[in-house]
Chains A and B, each alone.
Chain A
Amino acid sequence: MADTTYGSCCIDEVGALHIDSECVVHYGQTCLSPTSVLPAFFVFGKASINVSSCVKHLIDYASKSDKPIMILYGLEYAHVIPQIREELGLSKTDSQLSVANVLCSFISPSKDPRESMEHPRPYSESDSSDSLSSSRSYRLGGLTWDLPEGSKIEDYLLFWIGSDSSAFANVVLTFNGCDIVRYDAEEDSLVTEFYQQRRILKRRYYLVEKAKDANIIGILVGTLGVAGYLHMIHHMQALISAAGKKSYILAMGRPNPAKLANFPECDVFIYISCAQTALLDSKEFMSPVITPFEANLAFSRGSEWTGAYLMHFQDVINSVKSESEAHIGSEEPRFSFFQGGYVEDHKTNDQAKNGEEDTGETMTLVQAAEKALQLRGNDHNSLTKQTAAKSGPEYFLNRVYRGLEINSENTLPEPYIVGRSGKASGYKHE
């Protein structure tokens, strides 16, 4: 059973718990995100592929390039990997060609979110006994692979077998410094041009810069199953309040423009979800939706984007740990590319405020109430918007409409009128 509210790649743990199940068998597309409560067994499905043609393409391509090749694949093609290995005549010592392994087909939840990452259970068919302890291991979209000591992933040419799915998009984003080739099994052809995907990276960079200017941030709960999601939410909350900004947690299932537009006060949303559904970008969204990794870049001062991109919760949290220790916030205000000048984050303000008063939460209400009781002149027609609101109540104060107006002068009941009838798509009188 897949998670219908969020994304079909995740396990619907909540749904499974309704029927007191003890284990979930997940069919089809999956992101292999670690679960938090239930053990899960995965059936990847077997997509059809012409193995010999694929191998031929691969060998042709490998002969043209002098880089070692790392073969990655969509999980629906995992079933042919042993066959491909065989046809390639791959020996373990051959460093020119290596194949990634499937992480596992069975996940059991662990209390510590980091544990499941440190001890990945390798896929039963693969032979991992000889993996070197000093090698660097990578994990992405359910695949895992090791690189021998001294080599970097940038030195490799990534060969992806599978369709242009979100798993592949993640690979392109994460390893944006690598050369990547995709073999499309359905079309039986090689795709080498990923202009559109590369463009996404720049676009994400723009969103990060935009998020830096945000005052109110909505944290969208995009999963209730992926291990560590609660930890991530708390981490984001802490991060945002440390940056002197205001956050609200919103749970709305899979976000769409109409749902998000119900919160126009939020300048940016952080979507906390599994790696494969995390990238939400559409012109229809009024405010940008970013991933936790991007939020980290945007809200921790002094962190600069260098091209690295992380998708998994564990990676993000680990990276923050190492970063925050190294970095002590500089005094210099932040330079905003949208306002073309220095912008002071409200950090100092809030710190000062928290010192004098007890908690920010209760005081905002008090202040809001104070403001609401102020004598406001006939400025209802004024078109000026005040400076950007820093919290929800403040935003609402600037709105023109403040609820139904009760006209106290006219006490007589209004005469009743006949309303419309029919359906919204076309009423009867139309």
Chain B
Amino acid sequence: MSVIAHVDHGKSTLTDSLVAAAGIIAQETAGDVRMTDTRADEAERGITIKSTGISLYYEMTDASLKSFTGARDGNEYLINLIDSPGHVDFSSEVTAALRITDGALVVVDCIEGVCVQTETVLRQSLGERIRPVLTVNKMDRCFLELKVDGEEAYQNFQRVIENANVIMATHEDPLLGDVQVYPEKGTVAFSAGLHGWAFTLTNFAKMYASKFGVSESKMMERLWGENFFDSATRKWTTKTGSPTCKRGFVQFCYEPIKIMINTCMNDQKDKLWPMLEKLGIQMKPDEKELMGKPLMKRVMQAWLPASTALLEMMIFHLPSPYTAQRYRVENLYEGPLDDKYAAAIRNCDPDGPLMLYVSKMIPASDKGRFFAFGRVFSGTVSTGMKVRIMGPNYVPGEKKDLYVKSVQRTVIWMGKKQETVEDVPCGNTVAMVGLDQFITKNGTLTNEKEVDAHPLRAMKFSVSPVVRVAVKCKLASDLPKLVEGLKRLAKSDPMVLCTMEESGEHIVAGAGELHIEICVKDLQDFMGGADIIVSDPVVSLRETVFERSCRTVMSKSPNKHNRLYMEARPMEDGLAEAIDEGRIGPSDDPKIRSKILAEEFGWDKDLAKKIWAFGPDTTGPNMVVDMCKGVQYLNEIKDSVVAGFQWASKEGPLAEENMRGVCYEVCDVVLHADAIHRGCGQMISTARRAIYASQLTAKPRLLEPVYMVEIQAPEGALGGIYSVLNQKRGHVFEEMQRPGTPLYNIKAYLPVVESFGFSGQLRAATSGQAFPQCVFDHWDMMSSDPLETGSQAATLVADIRKRKGLKLQMTPLSDYEDKLGNLLCVIMRNAATGGNLLCVIATG
């Protein structure tokens, strides 16, 4: 299972309690150690950066399992737990964690409630068919900090749970069943990770069931929802009739805890000991000496230990691999669902063929090596075993991206330490040594002989790398070290992109400023002492058009015998996004494609069949469409035009950025009658020029990436937030007070380029009360005209051109467009004499 939540809602702290229960760290230090934050910078910043796996073994007592209805064999449980980061910049780590788990513990701060990242990860987990359970965390804040009364607290919790359920309800999945969480069913826990205590309604129901002479399940229902207990009549009602009526939850759960905490905090030990005795809690003599908070912590830990409540919830309500893989196989396996590999995954068969998904690479302590961390879905992986590694580009039947290597060692991950084991059967997470040279980020492993196995489906990330920095080494001779460092960096992070610019600069691209900062730090470490220079972060832009070309443009081939007439127009709203999502793409069935285009985007049905290509890279959000009527040989130049289009859409005419959302129409074509004169040598560059010309006549514009920012802050900080946002060209589109709290929730759009230093400024302007979460949201058109000298967009274009080492002046339209009937000056350089011969040819 994985632990997922918004940043700072207490995942790692809560995880500590579970780790403590398995005896790995002492109960007393639980909550402070943050066992799963293994890196120095994680401890320093107090945030989790990498997801960390830890395998925990528990023995449950018979008594606690007596009401467990599922199939079980013995009392021993092994839980493979993965703690994930909450900061949105690292959400690729969450994706990697979710893929290899079956259940998720969703942690929500009881005051802050469901935040943007909670929502994102929850959606992600349901998309992966991972069953969630919820814990309302930081209960201690209710009692100590805010001191809210029972009814108000109940309303709070109710709202938090409802908000989570609203998100889950949108993911109806017949195979997964009802995924919503209900306190009365035991799928919601209430916890205080910092103090190491937690409860579910089951705990209290057990205590009270015998007292009221009802069954536990009946009692649980009474402890939540519109059930009230009248202490005067000692009767349950469903209405708040008399003043002595109190909600079941408040009367029997909230109040007792409140009393207990207050007694401890006020050091009323004379009252405390009898209470503890009544509850049957034993305290050690030295613990009795404690005062105030430490005393409260110990008492609560002894009374309502977090591990028991959470473990019980997980064991009772989260599926075992055996159960989960039955329905997850469809999501996981790329191949046919009736082959033996699918069957082995479905049945979680330890004797079946090995199917193992490596979801991430973990740097090992010896420099340069990595553990391949993943999950065994079927079969058993053992030390010394020969495995087939299928990389992300593997195509079944081909030999591309395929290696056969042996596993040197299999290891179980235990947070900060590892334990070597002989073999690991299916259903478990595992780390392997000796495969790191063949896996970049992820991959599928099978047995050596299973040549017809298909790979497991690749992960889809919810964030995209929009922020980039250029890195170079201080000394030119360190270049091999830099290359090696980048290679390792690419491995160690599921999402970072290490690429290269046309100018020869190495680029590191990540989700946000923080992500880049961590990546650069890692890169420095990987390079072992060699210094690097990091450029200021830049964002990549896109080029697009604002309206249809003002005229049909024409370009002639180098030999002047062929002419291409083209127009550019912006794509319909939402079409580029649909292509991004893969709803429309090159590999679709043309019928389905034309249906979507006709119904959603108002395309002509026939036209939809005339799409020649998508680009760049054959899948990008631009198209070239054939609008010609009755042109001879058109078929013959299609390949050339498509090649020119792929090239041009990758490097637009403004600043050689990718194009986006442009539809190019080939309006007419005049071709030479001889095939030799209309070959690709003549047509590719002509198509490119015509595309550029058509774009330049269609009011070209730049698109910039925009973040959606969510900020939570008290009312007093709002002024500061607004002023910083205004400064940064951001605009708020939603402001809402969180019901029952003094906190406001603000959603705003902020250009990514303005986001550098944003969180620092925001903290300064609000004296640390506001913390933003930025997620890439959409591309936004910049209104200024890049062709108008001195405009904002023109300066931006000039900057980019300078950075890329291009000519500062854009190539003018006249270089791309040819005109009929003009004087043509052809300067022919005679190489032999070195002299210039000027010929003026009058045409038309």
B618 at the interface (CB under 8 A from A): yes
Contact B635 A335 (CB under 8 A): no
Using known A-B contacts A203-B502, A304-B479, determine if residue A264 contacts B832 with beta carbons closer than 8 Å.
no
B183 within 8 A of A: no
Residues 272-317 (chain A) with a chain B CB within 8 angstroms: 284, 286, 304-307
Interface 0/1 of B549-576, CB less than 8 Å to A: 0000000101111000000000000000
Asked if A333 is an interface residue, CB under 8 A from chain B, the answer is yes
State whether the Cβ of A426 lies closer than 8 Å to any Cβ in chain B.
Answer: yes
Query: 0/1 per residue, B477-521, Cβ < 8 Å to A?
Result: 101100100110010000001111111111000000000000000
Taking the closest CB of chain B, its distance from the CB of A224, in whole angstroms, is 15
Closest chain A CB from B482 CB (angstroms): 10
User: Are the C-beta atoms of B844 and A426 separated by less than 8 Å?
Assistant: yes
In the complex, chain B residues 435-487 whose Cβ is within 8 Å of any chain A Cβ: 437-441, 476-477, 479-480, 483, 486-487
Q: Are B391 and A4 closer than 8 Å at their CB atoms?
A: no
Main secondary structure of the interface of A (DSSP, over half): loop
Task: Name A356-401 residues within 8 Å CB distance of B.
Answer: 381-385, 387, 399-401
Nearest-Cβ distance from residue B654 to partner chain A, whole angstroms:
14
Q: Using A307-B476, A401-B635 as known contacts, say yes or no to A331 and B437 having CB atoms under 8 A apart.
A: yes
| In the bound complex, CA of A199 to CA of B501 (Å) | 12
Whether A387 lies near B497 (C-beta < 8 A) is no
Judge whether B437 and A199 touch: CB under 8 Å.
Answer: no
Known: A199-B805, A203-B504, A401-B639. A342 touches B438 (CB 8 A): yes
Q: Are A384 and B438 in contact (CB under 8 A)?
A: no
Chain A binder among B66-74, B369-377, B672-680, B746-754:
B672-680
- Interface-located stretch among B127-135, B327-335, B399-407: B399-407
Name the one of B506, B560, B685 contacting A284, with C-beta atoms under 8 angstroms.
Answer: B685
Could you mark each residue 258-274 of chain A with 1 if its beta carbon is under 8 Å from any beta carbon of chain B, else 0?
11111010000000000
Whether A337 contacts B820 by the Cβ 8 Å rule is: no
A219 vs B487: C-alpha distance in the bound complex, in angstroms? Answer: 30
Q: A61 → chain B, closest Cβ, in Å? A: 24
User: Is A341's CB under 8 angstroms from B497's CB?
Assistant: no
Determine if A4 and B832 form an interchain contact, defined as CB atoms under 8 angstroms apart.
yes
Are B831 and A399 in contact, with the CB atoms below 8 A?
no
Residues of A within 8 A of B (CB): 2, 4, 8, 28, 176-177, 199, 201-206, 209, 254, 257-262, 264, 284, 286, 304-307, 331-333, 335, 337-344, 346, 348-349, 381-385, 387, 399-401, 405, 419, 423-426, 430
Contact A262 B639 (CB under 8 A): no
Q: Does B614 contact A (CB under 8 A)?
A: yes
8 CB-based A-B contacts, threshold 8 Å: A28-B834, A199-B503, A264-B640, A342-B440, A344-B399, A400-B639, A426-B820, A426-B844
Bound CA span A199–B636, Å: 40
Q: Indicate if B681 sits at the interface (CB-CB under 8 A).
A: yes
Chain A: minimal CB distance from B593 (Å): 9
A261/B681 in contact, CB under 8 A: yes
Is B438's CB under 8 angstroms from A333's CB? Answer: yes
**A346 to chain B: which residues have CB within 8 Å?**
399
As a 0/1 sequence over residues 820 to 838 of chain B, the CB contacts with chain A under 8 angstroms (1 = contact) are 1100100000011010000
Q: How far is the CA of A176 from the CA of B479 in the complex (A)?
A: 14
Contacts of B401 in A (CB 8 A): 342-344
- Asked if B614 and A383 make an inter-chain contact with CB atoms under 8 angstroms apart, the answer reads yes
Cα distance, A353 to B531, chains bound together (Å): 45
B208: Cβ under 8 A from any A Cβ: no
Name A333's contact: one of B403, B441, B613, B820 (CB within 8 Å): B403
Contact of A203 among B392, B490, B503, B821 (CB under 8 A): B503
Which residue of the partner chain B has the closest CB to A353? B399
> For the complex, what is the distance from the CA of A348 to the CA of B400, rounded to whole Å?
10
A344 to B643, CA, bound (A): 25
* CB pair A383 B612 closer than 8 Å: yes
B497 contact set on A, CB distance < 8 A: 340
Could you say which of A205, A262, A349, A385 contacts B504, with CB atoms under 8 Å apart?
A: A205
One of A204, A332, A383 near B587 (C-beta < 8 A): A383
Query: Contact between B476 and A337 (Cβ–Cβ < 8 Å)?
Result: no
Query: Does A340 contact B498, Cβ atoms closer than 8 Å?
Result: yes
B767 at the A/B interface (Cβ < 8 Å)? no
Q: Would you call B841 an interface residue if the criterion is a C-beta within 8 Å of the partner chain's C-beta atoms?
A: yes
A342-B440, A400-B638 given as contacts; is B506 within 8 A of A337 (CB)? yes
B588 to chain A, nearest CB (A): 8
Ranked nearest first, the 6 interchain pairs of A and B with the lowest CB-CB distance are A202-B504, A262-B681, A341-B440, A383-B586, A206-B504, A426-B844
Is A341 a contact partner of B392 (Cβ separation < 8 A)? Answer: yes
Q: Known A340-B498, A424-B672; judge A399-B639 contact (CB<8 A).
A: yes
Q: Across the interface, which residues of A come within 8 angstroms of B477, CB to CB?
A: 306-307
Please determine whether A349 and B437 come into contact, CB atoms closer than 8 angstroms: no
Of the candidates B479, B487, B586, B612, the one whose C-beta lies within 8 Å of that of A384 is B586
B498 touching A333, Cβ below 8 Å: no
What is the CA–CA distance of A381 and B611 in the complex, to the nearest angstrom? 9
Closest CB in chain A relative to B329 CB, distance in Å? 26
A387 to B587 Cα, complex, angstroms:
13
Closest-CB distance, B696 to chain A (whole angstroms): 16
Which residues of chain B have C-beta atoms less than 8 A from A384's C-beta?
Answer: 586-587, 618
| Interface: B156 (CB within 8 A) | no
B609 at the interface (CB under 8 A from A): yes
Q: Is B318 an interface residue (CB 8 A)?
A: no
Return the chain A residue nearest B496 by Cβ.
A340
In Å, the complex CA distance between A333 and B437 comes to: 7
Tell me, in angstroms, the Cα distance from A260 to B501 when the chains sit together. Answer: 23
CB-CB under 8 A from A424, the residues of chain B are: 559-561, 672
On whether the beta carbons of A305 and B479 are closer than 8 Å, the reply is yes
Q: A257 to chain B: which residues have CB within 8 Å? A: 558, 685
- Least CB distance from B512 to A in Å reads 19
Give Cα A209 to B613, complex, Å. Answer: 27
Q: Does B382 contact A (CB under 8 A)?
A: no
A291 CB to closest chain B CB (Å) equals 15
User: Of A8, A261, A262, A341, which is within 8 A of B391 by CB?
Assistant: A341
* Min distance, Cβ B664 to any Cβ of chain A, angstroms: 15
Given contacts A202-B505, A383-B612, A401-B638, contact A425 B437 (CB under 8 A): no
Contact (Cβ within 8 A) B821 A340: no
- Whole-angstrom distance from the CB of B355 to the nearest CB of chain A? 21
Nearest-CB residue, chain A, relative to B481:
A304
Shortest C-beta distance, A161 to chain B (Å), equals 22
Query: Whole-angstrom distance from the CB of A294 to the nearest CB of chain B?
Result: 12
B33 to chain A, nearest CB (A): 36
Contact of B820 with A262 in the complex, beta carbons under 8 Å: no
Contacts of B440 in A (CB 8 A): 335, 340-342
CA of A195 to CA of B288 in the docked complex: distance in angstroms?
Answer: 75
Q: List, in ascending order, chain B residues with CB within 8 A of A348's CB.
A: 399
Is the beta-carbon distance between B504 and A286 smaller than 8 angstroms?
Answer: no
Nearest CB in chain A: distance from B591 CB, A? 10
Check B391 against A426 for contact (C-beta < 8 Å).
Answer: no
Chain B's closest residue to A209 (CB) is: B500
Q: Which residue of chain B is the closest to A385 with respect to CB atoms?
A: B618
Query: Residues of B contacting A333 with CB < 8 Å?
Result: 403, 437-438
Within 8 A of A (CB), among B385-404: 391-393, 395, 398-403
Docked CA distance A342–B483 (Å):
13
Of the candidates A8, A199, A425, A430, the one whose C-beta lies within 8 Å of that of B841 is: A425
**Residues of chain B within 8 A of A306, CB atoms compared:** 476-477, 479-480
A337-B499, A381-B609, A430-B844 known, 15 other contacts, Cβ within 8 Å: A4-B831, A177-B476, A199-B805, A203-B502, A264-B639, A304-B479, A332-B438, A337-B506, A348-B399, A383-B586, A384-B586, A387-B398, A387-B400, A424-B672, A426-B844
Known contacts A337-B500, A425-B560, A426-B844, A258 near B685 by CB under 8 Å: yes
Q: Is B61 an interface residue (CB 8 A)?
A: no
Given contacts A258-B681, A264-B680, A341-B392, contact A304 B843 (CB under 8 A): no
In the assembled complex, the Cα of A423 lies from the Cα of B561 at a distance in Å of 9
B561 and A206 form a contact (CB under 8 A): no
Other-chain contact of A341, B393, B559, B560, B637 (Cβ < 8 Å): B393
B window 254-313: CB within 8 A of A: none
B647 interface hit (Cβ, 8 Å) = yes
